[in-house]
Amino acid sequence: MRFALAVATGLVFGIGIALSGMMDPAKVLNFFDIAGAWDPSLAFVMGGALAVALPGYRLALRMDGPLLAQRFDLPTATRPDARLIGGSAIFGIGWGIAGFCPGAAIPALGTLRWEVALFLSAVIIGFMLRRMSFPAPRPKEIPR
């Protein structure tokens, strides 16, 4: 059941990314080109995601627990720190250079473009290097 829901969620995400045109790196790069051929469509996609996510989080946090897991795995930090800011900057620079967000690049694999495979390979290598350098902290239980 859990796997089927994960696949269904991934399909909805992938279809949304495809319909919005966010698999095309030119759309993303044009969003960052505010002095040239600026394309605001990425802002609308992000706004739509927030419109769904915010009420979804409010609803989920009212529940006693998740439906298919032992506990919610939510961030416990309340203030931005150097790791968050540095990681966000690296993510943004990579997104701006490549035109791919890791989430959007996964459904873009279906385009069979070598650039997508190269980008995702670099992301995976980056994840592996990060895990070797900084082991992930154990998630804390969220008090109710």
The reported pLDDT for the residue numbered 136 is 66
Q: Which of 30, 16, 18 is nearest to 99 (CA)?
A: 30
3-state secondary structure the chain: CHHHHHHHHHHHHHHHHHHHCCCCHHHHHHHHCCCCCCCCHHHHHHHHHHHHHHHHHHHHHHCCCCCCCCCCCCCCCCCCCHHHHHHHHHHHHHHHHHCCCHHHHHHHHHHCCHHHHHHHHHHHHHHHHHHHHCCCCCCCCCCC
pLDDT value of residue 138: 64
Per-residue confidence of the chain (144 residues) as pLDDT tens digits?
888 988 898 888 888 888 888 888 888 888 888 888 888 988 998 899 899 999 998 998 888 888 888 888 877 888 899 988 998 898 888 887 888 888 888 888 888 889 889 989 988 998 888 888 777 666 555 555
Q: How far is CA 12 from CA 9, 31, 59, 134, in A?
A: 5, 23, 20, 32
Give the C-alpha separation, 62 to 40, whole Å: 34
What pLDDT does residue 33 have?
84
pLDDT of residue 51: 95
Q: Please check whether residue 22 is in contact with residue 104, taking contact to mean a CB–CB distance below 8 angstroms.
A: yes
Q: What is the pLDDT of residue 47?
A: 93
Return the pLDDT at 26.
84
